Chains A and B, each alone.
Chain A
């Protein structure tokens, strides 16, 4: 499993990258593999202030649908515009062009409490 060392992870299979107060969030390589071909990422919570663990959207794959959980508290500012026409970027480049949202986090220290790559790998076995 190839999970970048510079990211933080949740047991719900999301990754977080933070710069100052802005976090970029996506789903992990493990998650995209489990879901299979992704056809639609729906996020209708832009501008909303949400608590960690809240459902901020859903990801629809051909066979299944899965909720997306916010890793840390904050306000979602942006949905990756490329996903509207090319949702398969989540499959082909989960840690890069397949990112899902950007958000302003309430407390940047929350991010460092998330799992590191090694901790996440123990979740996925």
Chain B
């Protein structure tokens, strides 16, 4: 099992540790509901150093990114990032990722899911016909997500860079907590605001930055947050989780990711996806909330009023913020409209639910 530079911090804070994507990661500290609320209302720190980072460099870097991703990276100017995905040849999804433009037409950083680092690296390498310089910097890159309405105010104490006014999906690089070359990005997976901080694991940088953040946020009551609350936070927002809601056989259009699928350029499976768009998709990822009491879980069947199968649950939980059970799942397109009654098979019972707008409210 791999460790992040913060593993000892988590253990000494009493975190419950689990193996996730080959890494020893904190699943929770004080409890999911408490951690979840801390991020929604205040500020929390996630160690997500298990995520993968690739640097693509050189004059053909952008062209390679354009060919392997679905979004239009040519729109990116330096200091901007975009959400995108890597489609496979059949129109499924190899992974979803963030593309950072470090230097226009020259240097890009791709941030990928921990469980897909090797798969993505091999996939992109296979398409790298023009010998773009590629570096897998995952093992030496630390990533802390500091999220919540008070996150940037707390972090501003640690740097001269203006992070309070950093626009969504933009980033800056500079000195943070005494460490040079820290990349601060106004992104996240919680919908609560805040930033993600990337830096090289060199010397005592990891300890210094972790300690500085908790010291700066002490008065505000900043908390460490585990992966369990990360999941409930993203699910309330309706953000897809790779392996749950999207995978090698789901199409970005079915997953509601049409907004990051741009047909003004060539990319893998463009024709298949463009056809899907023209002809319409058969199933669609929707949000739903339970009416009957019960919690939907990944893999549960979705049925219609007559008990006929119409889809499958991909994610589900009790929403800590809303106090009701919510989920996402694929349903046949005819059942995708908001408020459509659907039924979730929970163990041997059919429980009523209805299609709901995401983000959930």
Binding site for B on A (CB under 8 A): 33, 36-37, 39-40, 42, 58, 60, 62-63, 65, 91
Residues of B within 8 A of A39 (CB): 295, 318, 325
Stretch of B25-33, B120-128, B211-219, B337-345 lying at the A interface: B25-33
Given A40-B295, A65-B297, 20 other A-B contacts at CB below 8 A? A36-B228, A37-B31, A37-B32, A37-B33, A37-B320, A39-B295, A39-B318, A39-B325, A40-B318, A42-B293, A42-B294, A58-B347, A60-B295, A62-B228, A62-B232, A62-B320, A63-B231, A63-B317, A65-B295, A91-B31
Q: Is the pair A63, B228 in contact by a Cβ cutoff of 8 Å? A: yes
A-B contact count (CB 8 A): 38
Residue in contact with B32 in the complex, picked from A33, A36, A40, CB distance below 8 Å? A36
Q: Is the CB of A40 within 8 A of B294?
A: yes
Chain B residues positioned under 8 Å from A58 (CB to CB): 347
Contacts of B318 in A (CB 8 A): 39-40, 60, 62
Q: List 7 A-B contacts (CB under 8 A).
A: A36-B32, A37-B33, A39-B325, A40-B294, A60-B294, A60-B318, A63-B32
Q: B148 → chain A, closest Cβ, in Å?
A: 19
* Contacting residues, chain B, for A42 (C-beta < 8 A): 293-294
Binary A-proximity of B124-136 (CB < 8 A = 1, otherwise 0)? 0000000000000
Nearest A residue to B34, CB-CB: A37
- CB of A87 to closest CB in B, whole Å: 10
Closest Cβ neighbor of A88 among chain B residues: B33
Closest chain-B Cβ to A11's Cβ sits at a distance in Å of: 21
Q: Which residues of A contact B297 (CB under 8 A)?
A: 65
Residues 231-245 of B contacting A (Cβ, < 8 Å): 231-232
Complex CA gap A33/B31 in Å reads: 9
A108 to nearest B CB, angstroms? 31
CB neighbours of B232 from chain A (8 A): 62-63
Instruction: Considering the complex, give the chain B residue whose CB is closest to the CB of A44.
Output: B349
Closest to A36 in B: B32
